[in-house]
Amino acid sequence: MKNLVKIAVLSFVVLIACSSASTESEDNGSWYVTIKGKVGFPQQGQIVIQELKSNTTAGWQDTIKLKSNYTFAKKIKLTEPGYYRINFYNTQVINLIVDRSDIEVNVDGNNPQGFSEIIGSRDIDIISNAQKMLRATETMPEVAKLNEEFATAQRAGNEAKMLELQQTYMKLDKVNKDKVAAYLKEQAPSLAVVNLLQNNSLDADEYFDLYLSVADKLRTSWGSYSHAKTFIEKVD
């Protein structure tokens, strides 16, 4: 038996981001960020951090040395916010957006689905909040009732009723999507927002004013950054 609708699970290239903390800056516009953390169950092999380019291919990479107390700290130099991946022993992989804040990454290290914790991130909150709002429709009591009525109409072959219920659902869903659009529109330039929109979390045609607003902010504040340029080009 099919439900009235299926709520898509957001598919993100990255899940985490960080910003707004003190970092070391240089006169040429670059800055340093420290990624630190702890591995609960170290394995044989290496911990590797690598930058991911716009096409998700690996760029710069380096190894991270684990101390005897199972902690690590890696200072990296940035010239723009970017997507990064930390691979723990080819076993557990953590995807990040690194901006201007130091962040902490704690993992088990011995299981692909093992414990992981990211501390010090503004953008993870943006992604998490947007995801919760987008999924809110499916947990509404009204939608549960609609799904029951839809199943009944489907068994009876009542296509007119099915269409009516679908339209009712879409109205409820749009209320939540409008809230997400307003929430993202008020955010400062962020790769988290870029990532959400690039993954079509909100339909680009229906919410094109949001895409334009984000592109304008990026053009003003992040015009020289490669990921911003890619987004702006797609919107333009």
Q: Is residue 11 part of a domain?
A: no
Q: Is residue 1 part of a domain?
A: no
In this structure, the answer to whether residues 116 and 38 fall within a common structural domain is yes
| pLDDT tens-digit readout, 71-96 | 999 999 999 999 999 999 999 999 99
Q: Is residue 224 part of a domain?
A: yes
Helix axes 226-235, 208-221, angle to 10 degrees: 140
% of the chain exceeding 90 in pLDDT: 80
In this structure, the answer to whether residues 136 and 114 fall within a common structural domain is no
What's the chain's average pLDDT? 88
In this structure, the answer to whether residues 212 and 145 fall within a common structural domain is yes
Q: Is residue 8 part of a domain?
A: no
| Tally of structural domains, the chain | 2
CATH number, residue 80: 2.60.40
Whose structure tokens read 């692909």? 112
Q: Is residue 10 part of a domain?
A: no
Asked which of 100, 121, 142 is the last residue of a domain, the reply is 121
Q: Is residue 4 part of a domain?
A: no
In this structure, the answer to whether residues 155 and 214 fall within a common structural domain is yes
What 3 state SS string does 38-69 have?
EECCCCCCCEEEEEECCCCCEEEEEEECCCCC
| pLDDT tens-digit readout, 156-194 | 999 999 999 999 999 999 999 999 999 999 999 999 999
In this structure, the answer to whether residues 104 and 131 fall within a common structural domain is no
In this structure, the answer to whether residues 116 and 29 fall within a common structural domain is yes
In this structure, the answer to whether residues 85 and 173 fall within a common structural domain is no
| pLDDT tens-digit readout, 207-234 | 999 999 999 999 999 999 999 999 999 9
Residue 142: pLDDT over 50: yes
Domain containing 108 equals: 24-121
In this structure, the answer to whether residues 131 and 115 fall within a common structural domain is no
Asked which of 121, 151, 172 is the last residue of a domain, the reply is 121
Residue 18: pLDDT over 50: no
Asked which of 59, 91, 121 is the last residue of a domain, the reply is 121
Concatenated DSSP letters for the chain? ---S--PPPP--S------SS--EE-TTS-EEEEEEEEESS--SS-EEEEEE-TTS-EEEEEEEPPPTTSEEEEEEEESS-EEEEEEETTTEEEEEEE-SS-EEEEE-SS-TT--EEEES-SHHHHHHHHHHHHHGGGG-HHHHHHHHHHHHHHHHT-HHHHHHHHHHHHHHHHHHHHHHHHHHHTSPS-HHHHHHHHTTSS-TTTTHHHHHHHHHHHHHHSTT-HHHHHHHHHH-
